Every structure is written in structure tokens, then in C-alpha cells.
Structure 1
Amino acid sequence: MVSNIHPLADVQSKNIGENTSIWQFCVILKNAQIGKNCNINCQVFIENDVVIGNNVTIKPGVQIWDGMTIEDNVFIGPNVTFTNDRYPKSRNVNFHLQKTIIKENAIIGANATIIGGIIIGENSLIGAGSVVTKNIPSNEIWVGNPAKFIKANIN
């Protein structure tokens, strides 16, 4: 089956896997790569230098900026915020792209903020509303502002 792209989405990329659904009011730029069986909910923006794996769910109100890699089976909750510049300003001539990697099977709860340059490990869980300012090891649960280790993630 081909991808299901809502007619009110602006999808410029041709690099979208089979059985991926893209809902209304999404903008996906032409060089973005999205795997198969993904669910990209309404009002999601995905820039050019982005790789999204298979079986990924991105809930409404999320922006995926240049420099992001999201591996397979990741869940990104509503209104999660990512950054890709530690010192943002308008027309920043000194812009330094911070690459972010979300590893396989990670879960990021609603309204979490992920600072650029972070790696979120496999099978980790970031609690809703958390602010992640450093790398998160695999198989751990982190919550709070700033996010702190709570316990091992036992699936």
C-alpha cells in the first residue's frame, strides 16, 4: 500500500515509506526521509536534513529540525519541542547545527523539551514536560526540569 497523505498536507519529499500516514496541516520539506508504517499527526513540521525510521509515531504540534535522526519504533508525544542551536538568534551568522539522535524504541512524553545535540538512548522514556539537557542512557526513565534519572526502564 502507498502512503496515506492528507490533501491538506504540504509534502514536498518523495522519500516516504509505504503505509505511512501524514495528516492535515503537516509540512514536510523535500529532502526529509521518512520510513514505512509511520504516523505523522496533524500540524507537524519536518525540515530537510531529517531521517525518520520505521514505525515512528509523531503526535500533533511537533517540529523536527535539520540534524535530527529518529530511529525505528519511536514515540514522540504531542507538542514535544526540539532545538538544534544552543545560542539561537534571528539571522544567526554563527549558527552551529546541533545534531540530535533519538534511538530505537524511545518514548518522549508530551511537552518535553529536548536541547540540541542530545542522544536519547534505546528503550528510554522521557516523562511529559521534562527538559532534557544531556544525553540519556539506554533503558532509563528520566523526568523533571532539568530531567533526572528515576529508574531503569523495565519493559
Structure 2
Amino acid sequence: MIPANEHRPRFWVRVFVNPFFHKRGKHAIIRNRTRLDVFPYNQFNLGQQSVIEDFSTINNGVGHVNIGNHTIIGLGNVVIGPVNIGNDVMMAQNIVVSGLNHGYEDVSISPRLQKESCKQIIICDDVWIGANSTITAGVTLGKHCVIGAGSVVTKDVPPFSVAVGNPAKVIKSYNTASKQWEKVTR
């Protein structure tokens, strides 16, 4: 199924097997220059009217990749499972969302040869992720949160908040009583 020294499925798997295992919603678009490294033993689902732009890479080799309805995966993004992306999510350009980590603890063995660990990433509905951001394994981005450009998200971000920086920190949250975005004081 996988050629030696490669990390993507063989041509015949992509053409003749995957279409029977993976779901693509009505009017969903995967641009021609997208790299789909999807395997039939893990899920890959793309919701209705969602778009995966050119030069992006989607890989479900180590976990399911599910993308909701009306979601945009921008130019040059990398999505490595296990990842669950909600509805109406906007991902700008050059974002890395990876639920995969390599072990490094045993110094007598190259990290390349050590066991991988995977943790589910959850991106809830209505999230906006700015360009050049990184979302690390095990993180949950709450509903309607905004991640500033260039941020590295290493911890969960609560719903209705804005997080920026490296590591990303919440700087604003939405106050439902005043119906205003307010700065978070520490």
C-alpha cells in the first residue's frame, strides 16, 4: 500500500481504493495542487462547500482527519491527523496543524526511529486561524476563537477569545453581558 521509503499511498490506492472509503460533501473543492496523503484505514471527510487550497498537504496516516462544512483550508497548509475541524472555520496561509509527535527520550536512537505519539486536535466551529500559525498535538480551540498570525498554540484556547504569540496567550475574550470584546488582564 505504501512504497518503500515513502510516506504516501501508492497511485492505485489513491485512485481505486480511497474514493470508496473517504467522503467529500456536495460542492466541496480540493484544488489540483493539493497533496492528499490519505489512507483507507483512517477517515478523511470533507464537508459540504469546504475548500482545500493549492499547495496544502492532508495526511491521515496516523489518525482521522475530519473537516466540517463551509471550512477553508488556506494555501500551503499542513494538516496531519488526528484532527477534527468544525464548520465555518477559516484557516489562512501556511498553517501547520499536527496531532503527531516523535519520541526523543532515548538518546541512543535517532528520533526518526523512535515511537510516535498522537493526540487529537479539535478545532471547533467558527474559528479563525491567522497565517503562519502552528497548532500542536492535543490542543482544543473553542468555538469562535481567533488565533493571531504567527502564533504557536500549545494549550487549549477557550471559546470566544483571541489568542496571540509564541506560546499563544489569550489577550481578549467576549463579554456576553456587555456584548463587547474585552482585554484580558493578568
- TM more than 0.5: yes
For 1:135 and 1:142, how far apart are their aligned partners in 2?
10
Q: Are residues 1:84 and 2:99 paired? A: yes
2:146 & 2:127 partners in 1: Cα distance? 6
Q: What TM-score results when the alignment is normalised by the length of structure 1?
A: 0.85
SS of the residue 2:149 aligns to:
coil
Take 1:109 and 1:22, find their aligned partners in 2: how far apart are those partners? 21
* Contact 2:71 2:87 (C-alpha < 8 Å) held by counterparts: yes
C-alpha distance after superposition, 1:21-77 (max 9, x if no partner)? 111211222441111000110011112320011000010111111200001010111
Aligned to 1:54, what secondary structure does the other structure show? coil
Q: Which runs of 5+ in 2 are unaligned?
A: 1-13, 104-110, 175-179, 182-186
Give the match's secondary structure for 1:72: coil
Counterpart position of 1:117: 138
Q: Is 1:144 aligned with 2:159?
A: no
CA–CA separation in structure 1 for the residues paired with 2:96 and 2:26? 27
Superposition map of 1:9-48 within 5 A: 12-13=18-19, 14-28=22-36, 29-30=38-39, 31-48=43-60
User: 2:78 matched to which residue of 1?
Assistant: 63
**Does the alignment pair 1:134 with 2:149?**
no
Q: Give the number of aligned pairs.
A: 145
1:3 is matched with: none
Tell me by how many angstroms 1:142 deviates. 0.5
Could you state the TM-score of these two structures normalised by the residue count of structure 2?
A: 0.72
Work out the percentage of aligned pairs sharing the same amino acid.
Answer: 30
Alpha-carbon offset, residue 101 of structure 1: 0.5
Greater displacement, 18-27 / 107-116: 18-27
Residue type of the partner of 1:91?
L
Higher CA-based Rg: 2
- CA-based RMSD of the aligned residues comes to 1.9
Instruction: Provide the residue aligned with 1:108 in structure 2.
Output: 129
Q: 1:16 is matched by which residue type in structure 2?
A: R
Amino acid at match of 1:111: N
